[in-house]
Amino acid sequence: MSSAQRSAERPLYRDNARLPVRRAGIDTYRQPVLYLHRDCLVSCAEGFAALTRVKVECGDRDVVALLNIVTGDWLSKDEAALSDAAWRVLAPKAGAIASFSHAEPPESASALRAKVFGKRLGEAEFESILRDALASRLSDIELAAFVTTCAGDRMDLDESVALTRAMVSVGERIDWGTGPVLDKHCVGGLPGNRTTPIVVPIVAALGHRIPKTSSRAITSPAGTADVMATMTEVDLEIDVLRTVVDREGGCMASGGNMHLSPADDILIQIERPLDLDSDGQMVASILSKKVAAGCTHVLIDIPVGSTAKVRTMAAAEAIARRLAFVGEAVGLRVGVLMSDGKQPVGRGIGPALEAHDVLEVLRNSPQAPGDLRERALDVAGAVLELLPGIPRGSGRIQAAGVLASGAALRKFMAICAAQGGFREPGTAHFVEPVIARADGRVGCINNRQLARIAKLAGAPLNATAGVVCSLREGDLVQRGMPLFHVHAGSRGELDYALDYANTHLDALSLRSEPS
């Protein structure tokens, strides 16, 4: 075949490295991905290989995408396909043609490489990395390298301050004007510890501002936003959130739509599959969102237990020191409450199940879980005592009075009404117990195992799924009685969770009673 014939067979847009684009229908989460056939002329001409960073331009938009090579026949050699993440950025019209070229190295590449080799980074260097991450100019592989180099003891206190400030600078920031703005946060790892929907209305009912934004669950069976979503609207824009707080003094919303420290959301999603818990990044994550939300006084709850996120008091004290140092540097008054993390709080583990516990406490029901009530009052008291002029111990007394009087419930309902209306949380279609196989007493409760069972049952995606456990350490158990109940939205999910639970009965380990 002559060169003229070969040229005639090529698409007209080949010489300019251009191809029509279509949607691949593949969810790659936040990573934009480009798909080209292995015989694609553009790919061959440009020297693209798998995992090449390719700049894709379509109309007046562009994105840097990671190339995946297609060896099957679902994509022709004369077209390109885009992952959902890339498609959202480019938003191409029907029949659109895109151009492709090698992407320039991201501006932050030198800073990232320097951190890999142990150099300390400053605020400008962290900000460069985060801006490139937000613009999808860094691949997940590069971000994983960054997260790893910041883990363990490889980030000092000054770097935590620099990273916190950088996280704030690349996102939105709310200004509430003068006066104290309160908040609280739990570092997590303790199933059912859903104090926020009780603390916020208590504090707001006392006339203080507490604009609480929370995340959806990342690795747990429920986050505060998931729990609140079973009772009211949580996906609020910033202007709506302002209206709610101006009207009621507090809110309980998801931070996902507000772009408060958005770079942190990206880093969290990278940390999750790596299962890395870095004190430096965790502190920057927590405090950057508090600064961005306009808070001035923040209470951090650190549950400590052998199967909690923070396992030793020494580890908790190290986190507390870092929180205090970074908080002071970024203008926050930070208080720390170290709490018992040996076992779950409340009975429910899962969005709707935890919501039922919350409502029982707010409604002063005789059946309300006492440990959740007491924990919420401890946290609310500690939040109030961050304010000037509130002596130690009096905050909890104020909180208990507001809860007992019904003022906290009224404020909770008012906040829900302002956010879009209140609804009762639902219940699961399928519920079955996990039965004790012997007599004994509960020796210890494995928080991680119970959380795992709740997730296998469908939580948090199925809001009514999860686990209900009323037993606590030291409780007497007789053979044949329920250890806990599994709630699920389908028979298949229920069976899946029960199968795991019955082969991992160490979720509640029993010790034999002396004869």
Catalytic sites, residue numbers: 277
Q: Tokens 């195992």 label which residue?
A: 449
Helix-helix angle 196-205:394-405, to 10 degrees: 90
Count Cβ atoms within 10 A of the Cβ of residue 97 and give its class: 0-12 exposed, 13-18 middle, 19 or more buried.
Answer: middle
Angle between helices 394-405 and 407-419 (to 10 degrees): 70
The Cα–Cα gap between 442 and 475 comes to: 5
Query: Of 81, 437, 31, which Cα lies nearest the Cα of 266?
Result: 31
Residue 340: is it exposed, middle or buried by C-beta count within 10 angstroms (0-12/13-18/19+)?
Answer: middle
Report the chain's terminal Cα–Cα distance, integer Å.
93
User: d(Cα 290, Cα 285) in Å, to the nearest integer?
Assistant: 9
User: Minimal CA–CA distance to 316: which of 328, 302, 295?
Assistant: 302
**Token pair in block for residue 142:** 């590069």
Q: Is 487 helix (H, G, I), strand (E, B) or coil?
A: strand
Q: How many CB atoms lie within 10 A of CB 86?
A: 30
Residue 442's identity, in one-letter code, is V
- Please count the other Cβ atoms lying within 10 Å of the Cβ belonging to residue 347: 23
Amino acid at 307: T
Cβ distance 352 to 228 under 8 Å? no
Query: For tokens 């199968």, what's the residue?
Result: 499
Other CB atoms within a 10 A radius of the CB of residue 84 amount to 16
Asked if residue 326 lies in contact with residue 333, where contact means CB atoms within 8 angstroms, the answer is: no
Look-up of token digits 């995992």: 51
Answer yes or no: are the C-beta atoms of 439 and 479 closer than 8 Å: yes
